[in-house]
Structure 1
Amino acid sequence: MRCRTEPCSGPEPPIAAEAAPTGVATEARDIVVTGRVQGVGFRPFVYRTAHELGLAGTVLNGSGKVFIHAEGPAAQLDQLERALVQQAPPLARPRLASSAAATLSGATTFAILASDAASEPEIHLPPDLFTCDACLAELTAPAERRYGYPFINCTQCGPRYTIITAMPYDRPNTSMTGFPLCDACRAEYESPLDRRFHAQPLACPVCGPRLEFVPVVGANLVRDRRGPIPEQGAGYEGGAVSPKAKKNPPSAVAPSVLHKTIAALRSGQVVAVKGVGGYHLVCDAANDGAVRRLRERKLRPHKPLAVMFPLRGADGLDAVREHLRLDALCAAALLDPARPIVLAPMAAPFRLSPSLAPGLAELGAFLPYSPLHHELLAGFGGPLVATSGNLSGEPVITDNAEAQLRLAGIADAFLHHDRPIVRPADDPVVRPMAGAVRTLRLGRGLAPLELELPATEPGRLPRPLLATGGHLKVTVALAWDRRVVVSPHIGELDSPRSNDVFNQVVCDLQSLYGVTAEVIACDLHPGYASTRWARARAHDRGLQLIPVQHHAAHAAALAGEHPDVARWLVFAWDGVGYGDDGGLWGGEALAGRPGAWLRRASFRPFRLAGGDRAGREPWRSAAALLWEAGSPVGANFVRDRLVPAGQDREQGSLLQLAHDAWQKGINTHESSAVGRLFDAAAALVLGRQTASFEGQGPMELEAIAAEGCLPLSLPLAADGQGVLRSDWAPLLATLTNVAIAPAERAGIFHETLAQALLDQVVAIRATTAFDAVGLSGGVFQNKRLTERVVARLGQAGIDVRLHEAVPANDGGLSFGQVIETMRKV
């Protein structure tokens, strides 16, 4: 029989091991393991573990689960059950579904049986994970046949999600279909005791993908070897390894290709390197000129750049410690199997380029996760900038020809390979804060994120549901039965390519999991591209459409991560979200539970002129606050402090136009968004007139905020609808007082917002019962603010919950939309 997720090329014989002499079997158990247990080496792991414990019995795959019959002493059977979950292979995410007493069969061996595909499997897609220790040892051992081979992998590592074209997860259903296995690889693939047993991306220098280095001279690409950019799977004829490939395997050119790439990096060039989920733009992280050129060409003047560090030292982190201060949380996050980008504080003195994260105190660092990265870093000898190979806000580029077309004005050279990337997966980003590692961006290694829906009546979704997220940091989520899957980060839906990838991800999730959505949830904002798509799809296919208010989705996402809490008070603070009243909300306190939220508190609203421009031009938020409050320093401060030298006349005219529009209510919207308060504070304290990326001013404000500052008291009163409103006006005198150091003003601002939140909690608690306070929304990516809020609430004896696996920002909206609409489907 064939298993849909670990298919055999022929009949799969039982593989047996003699039970160790641990005495007569005293009981038997039938154990069922669910979760991500297919295609990750789980059966060989069970076999080895049972043999070590001296157990007899069998293990087989079936219906996407693993079925174990084990016989032996009770203590060893208990150890087996613990090991199944606690010692599972890194790629596995097992759940012990059941364990029941069984009839003794008198077995004397433990056997791997042929897979049973009698019924449809419970599909779990494995993500792409880092190069395991065993493959890394092979990669660096001259005697091994895969020595230096940049595509080495096994069942414990390598690409998965980014190469799957269809289910079941079989090599013909991956982008490796163009690379037929050589005899040596096939022998590994078919041996159940080999760590490459059914490793679908399996490859070697004889039969696997190859590299190509393409330099750019002027406006022209210069081929490193004759022929076009390698076709995906080129070098193979008629489904077999070509005679040319056998005579001159790809590895024969790999050293030359890598040497040329490393030489280009050492000379200060920018190289576009094709990786696992897309291209990186790579340069020397210590070469300020190279970093500046990358910024100029990519039109990314300030947004921080991620840096990839080589493995060094006993735990692999010595190279990182030379430049960053790592606590236990940061170290653990860097070594996580997903190998995420981790935000960590810079060390002093900081010896890498000062242009990596200008104005900030933290740097995004990550470790190499592919063998190609290991080879590049080992040859280069130091850290490398490795930022997404894309145009601003778009998904990362995956295709060779598209990369050369769209990145030719940025890169000095290209390092391609011919293994196709089926779908993009950008690097994940996490930030350790408030005692745990918090996900800021879902990506390669963390996504698709598979979660269980909270238990509700009737307990299962009656119809499959698709949630389309928001407009920025977009993810989509697919939910059915008791399951929900959240996609990797897609990006902003501002370009045709972003919308194409959005469509691809929507189709992929449904196709790969074999689920067709019958209900669509979307954001309430009528102008979002995701909302327009959802409305059109629902109309065309006759599907139920459920719009979800933005901050209700944030609150529900947090509730979905913490199903043990029944009654919530969630603070959803962000830059903007379409409110039930058509206003721009963003400083909301919502009480209740998913599907039944009440708006209990917010901030004093202010009229914001300029529409969407306010997010890119923080001076507009600052001016609006000063005008709204009637501040005596307002007009002069805006003119004198927010206007760049030499632009007085032009900017003065713009300010006058903005003020006139604000007074007349032209193109203005009422906002209660804390994110806009942060923008205003950054403009008033730092002179941050414009922002080149989302959140620039708030991030810079956090970076300089002094410790030990005392909060101001913000008045709190109910409005006409009974919503408590904190008044930000008392902050203005401090924020505009240039006699106070900017660091102190920034510190006071953070402390005041933390105290304002506590004041709202105390006031709401007088009339509303809740079990926990939650923090959601993009503002709570701010470590300084979040930790101050957690500390104040903790001192008051209040249980505080934050996001962990699901982003607090808009990347978590799709999951929140699922949770919010569960009872409405």
Structure 2
Amino acid sequence: RDEQALSAAVTALREGRILAVKGVGGYHLMCDATDAAAVERLRRRKPRPHKPLAVLFPDPEGPQGHWLQACVNAEPEALALLRSPARPIVLMDRREDCPLPPAIAPGLREIGVLLPYSPLHQLLVEAAGRPLVATSGNRSGEPVLTDEAAATAGLAHVADAFLHHDRPIERPADDALFRVIAGRPRALRPGRGTAPLELSLPFRLERPVLALGAQLKATLTLAWEDRAVVTPHIGDLGTLRGLEVLARLAGDLQALHGVSARALICDAHPDYASTRWAREQGLPVHAVHHHLAHASALAGEHPGPGDWLVFTWDGTGLGPDGTLWGGEALLGGPGRWRRVASLRPFRLPGGERTALTPWRSAAALCWESGRTPPFLPEEGGLLRQAWERDLNCTSSSSAGRLFDAAASLTGLLQEVSFDGQAPMWLEALAQEAPGTAIELPLQRGEDGLWLADWAPLLAHLADPTLPPVHRAADFHASLARVILEQALAVRKAQDFERVGLTGGVFQNRLLSETALAQLEAAGFEVCLSTRLPANDGGISFGQVMEHGAGRSNHD
């Protein structure tokens, strides 16, 4: 019976059908990665129009090992991680003559590569004799499905066939995801094989706490005494299933370690689902601001004496002043951070919703600097009126929205279908040419904050006489230069040696490596997130660090 099921599954894959496969931490949706029609069908049904798909390759040491060599250029560090017992997904540079269809990872120069990590995966990919798409079996943004009945119902509109097994999956665990940046593997998503992840705290907690992370890319961290345990990636808490998994994991984590949290820590944003959930649990709740948690997560991963200057660049997060931060430099350490540098703030019409429409960010920046946006859809007129009247506008210093605007102004894309698409596509474009930094004025305000002015970039980004590839490359070079100049400006008045780069923007390899090289040349010690993601997946650990260190400093 088992052999018949496996044979039927392989036949389905070879015939271009989509297969839902129960794995170790949840279900995968699989299809023939060499079949462009099958890949497009999977994208249409899920729906997942542009987000990259991971590819399961045959073992490179086996009879089908030529596939990996034919598709990607594998750095030694990436290959070692790929073959490690954790078996994560590792981003690798796609070969120009790669036989896989572009629809695997449209707009990108990398492929998420995965090797078999269970006997079932090994049998499937070997029998198929070719690489297989292996993407999470879930609704977009939700935790991966684990139960046979739920998967059959939830994936019926996507999968043509199902391959189940009878071993229960107690806790969902998506595949871990890594990218090699500056010669070292950096976690982008904690998951199967790498999480739960235990980290030591540089202090002892008086009572156990449970930190709930952020709204997107959520994780939990249970901490007691001087120990902290970070869960695998949960996903978007804006969905009902996301909240259900959070609640179940919160209970499981405490039961597993025999520890009961006596307080909860959440993001300071009052509208986050985790914040609302925390308020309903009947325990003391402590709120930590988003970017302070980012900085403290990095400091906790790389403990040491002395002050840090940590650049926390991402899409958005509520700052202590009530504005949306995202382009900050924080000086100090956990529990005592002080904002010393930022990007020139601008008003975002529609607030956080602009993340799905890069043209809105571009329009806001243009209006802020007295320019006419080169692209404005029909609804742009109403948006301009709202912006002029300051209706539903939020002040923001977000580097992520600056990336969105750059993608729009270069003509790369005006709307996105997944979080991070615009910056990812912009980086891929920028990698095709060397960049030259545009000088961006750095001024110190009355509050002592060093502000970098992005306005000179706008004309350059929108210049139709310049190839888009050069505009994208110059944008990256300019922001790397801003990081260096802000660090040098702060160092003139403050004593610190270490510079940190964290937040979702620093998943960008080109920006991170360029900034790191320039900072090290200027004599700084530079640290990047490694075991924890730079993105919001590290926030829950940072919340523990910020809360615990703050109480320790206060005491």
User: What band does the TM-score fall into relative to the shorter chain?
Assistant: over 0.9
Which structure features the higher share of helix residues? 2
Q: 1:567, 1:772 within 8 Å by CA — same for their partners in 2? A: yes
Residues 16-53 of structure 1 show CA distances to partners (whole Å, capped at 9, x for unaligned) of xxxxxxxxxxxxxxxxxxxxxxxxxxxxxxxxxxxxxx
Alignment map for 1:588-737 (pairs within 5 Å): 588-631=328-371, 634-635=372-373, 637-639=374-376, 651-652=377-378, 654-705=379-430, 706-737=432-463
Alignment map for 1:477-488 (pairs within 5 Å): 477-488=221-232
Alpha-carbon distance in 2 for matches of 1:572, 1:578: 13
1:535 Cα offset (Å): 2.0
Alignment of 1:794 onto 2:520:
yes
Equivalent position SS for 1:680:
helix
Alignment map for 1:350-361 (pairs within 5 Å): 350-361=98-109
Q: 2:64, 2:130 within 8 Å by CA — same for their partners in 1? A: no
1:824 Cα offset (Å): 4.5
Equivalent position SS for 2:395:
strand
Alpha-carbon distance in 2 for matches of 1:687, 1:657: 24
1:314 Cα offset (Å): 7.2
Q: Which residue of 2 aligns with 1:545?
A: 285
Q: Which residue of 1 aligns with 2:16?
A: 268
Q: Which residue of 2 aligns with 1:413?
A: 161
Alignment of 1:347 onto 2:95:
yes
1:721 Cα offset (Å): 1.7
Alpha-carbon distance in 2 for matches of 1:808, 1:316: 35
**Aligned partner of 1:628: which letter?**
E
Alignment map for 1:137-152 (pairs within 5 Å): none
1:317 Cα offset (Å): 5.8
Residues 235-291 of structure 1 show CA distances to partners (whole Å, capped at 9, x for unaligned) of xxxxxxxxxxxxxxxxxx111111100000000000000011110000000000000
Higher mean alpha-carbon deviation, 316-325 vs 603-612, is at 316-325
Alignment of 1:525 onto 2:251:
no
1:353 Cα offset (Å): 1.7
Alignment of 1:582 onto 2:322:
yes
Q: 1:395, 1:424 within 8 Å by CA — same for their partners in 2? A: yes
Alpha-carbon distance in 2 for matches of 1:289, 1:316: 23
Alpha-carbon distance in 2 for matches of 1:556, 1:335: 31
Q: 1:686, 1:701 within 8 Å by CA — same for their partners in 2? A: no
1:532 Cα offset (Å): 1.1
Equivalent position SS for 2:500:
strand
Q: Higher relative contact order at CA 8 Å, sep ≥6: structure 1 or structure 2?
A: 2
1:299 Cα offset (Å): 1.1
1:315 Cα offset (Å): 12
Residues 688-723 of structure 1 show CA distances to partners (whole Å, capped at 9, x for unaligned) of 111000011110010011432210111111223211
Residues 363-400 of structure 1 show CA distances to partners (whole Å, capped at 9, x for unaligned) of 10010000000010111011000000000100000111
Alpha-carbon distance in 2 for matches of 1:316, 1:334: 16
Q: 2:91, 2:113 within 8 Å by CA — same for their partners in 1? A: yes
2:170 maps to which of 406, 418, 422: 422
**Aligned partner of 2:212: which letter?**
T
Equivalent position SS for 1:432:
strand
Residues 132-168 of structure 1 show CA distances to partners (whole Å, capped at 9, x for unaligned) of xxxxxxxxxxxxxxxxxxxxxxxxxxxxxxxxxxxxx
Structure 1's unaligned 5+ residue stretches are 1-252, 640-650
Alignment map for 1:137-536 (pairs within 5 Å): 253-313=1-61, 318-454=66-202, 456=203, 460-536=204-280
Give the alignment's TM-score, normalised by structure 2.
Answer: 0.98
Alpha-carbon distance in 2 for matches of 1:638, 1:267: 44
Alignment of 1:771 onto 2:508:
no
**Aligned partner of 2:408: which letter?**
A
**Aligned partner of 1:673: which letter?**
S
Q: 1:565, 1:771 within 8 Å by CA — same for their partners in 2? A: no
Q: Which residue of 2 aligns with 1:182?
A: none
Q: Which residue of 2 aligns with 1:646?
A: none
**Aligned partner of 2:470: which letter?**
E
**Aligned partner of 1:520: which letter?**
L
Q: 2:64, 2:129 within 8 Å by CA — same for their partners in 1? A: no
**Aligned partner of 1:465: which letter?**
V
Residues 509-542 of structure 1 show CA distances to partners (whole Å, capped at 9, x for unaligned) of 10100000112111111110011111222xx2xx
1:302 Cα offset (Å): 0.2
Q: 2:33, 2:100 within 8 Å by CA — same for their partners in 1? A: yes
Q: Which residue of 2 aligns with 1:818?
A: 544
Q: 1:734, 1:745 within 8 Å by CA — same for their partners in 2? A: yes
Alpha-carbon distance in 2 for matches of 1:316, 1:355: 22
Alpha-carbon distance in 1 for matches of 2:337, 2:488: 18
Alpha-carbon distance in 2 for matches of 1:592, 1:293: 51
Residues 605-650 of structure 1 show CA distances to partners (whole Å, capped at 9, x for unaligned) of 000001232000110000000000001xx14x123xxxxxxxxxxx
Alpha-carbon distance in 1 for matches of 2:526, 2:161: 49
1:664 Cα offset (Å): 0.4
**Aligned partner of 2:383: which letter?**
A
Alpha-carbon distance in 1 for matches of 2:456, 2:190: 38
Alpha-carbon distance in 1 for matches of 2:453, 2:103: 38
1:781 maps to which of 483, 487, 507: 507
Structure 2's unaligned 5+ residue stretches are none
1:687 Cα offset (Å): 3.8
1:451 Cα offset (Å): 1.1
Residues 24-83 of structure 1 show CA distances to partners (whole Å, capped at 9, x for unaligned) of xxxxxxxxxxxxxxxxxxxxxxxxxxxxxxxxxxxxxxxxxxxxxxxxxxxxxxxxxxxx
Task: Answer with 1 or 2: which has the greater Rg.
Answer: 1
Residues 69-115 of structure 1 show CA distances to partners (whole Å, capped at 9, x for unaligned) of xxxxxxxxxxxxxxxxxxxxxxxxxxxxxxxxxxxxxxxxxxxxxxx
Alpha-carbon distance in 1 for matches of 2:175, 2:77: 19
Q: 2:336, 2:550 within 8 Å by CA — same for their partners in 1? A: no
**Aligned partner of 1:779: which letter?**
V
Higher mean alpha-carbon deviation, 516-525 vs 385-394, is at 516-525
Alpha-carbon distance in 2 for matches of 1:418, 1:549: 43
Equivalent position SS for 1:822:
helix
Residues 652-673 of structure 1 show CA distances to partners (whole Å, capped at 9, x for unaligned) of 2x10111000010111001100
Alpha-carbon distance in 2 for matches of 1:316, 1:709: 39
Alpha-carbon distance in 1 for matches of 2:171, 2:254: 14
Equivalent position SS for 1:280:
strand
Residues 702-751 of structure 1 show CA distances to partners (whole Å, capped at 9, x for unaligned) of 00114322101111112232111000000011000011001000000000
Alpha-carbon distance in 2 for matches of 1:411, 1:281: 7
Alpha-carbon distance in 2 for matches of 1:720, 1:669: 22
Q: Which residue of 2 aligns with 1:555?
A: 295
Alpha-carbon distance in 2 for matches of 1:315, 1:337: 21
Equivalent position SS for 1:475:
coil
Q: 1:271, 1:283 within 8 Å by CA — same for their partners in 2? A: yes
1:316 Cα offset (Å): 9.0
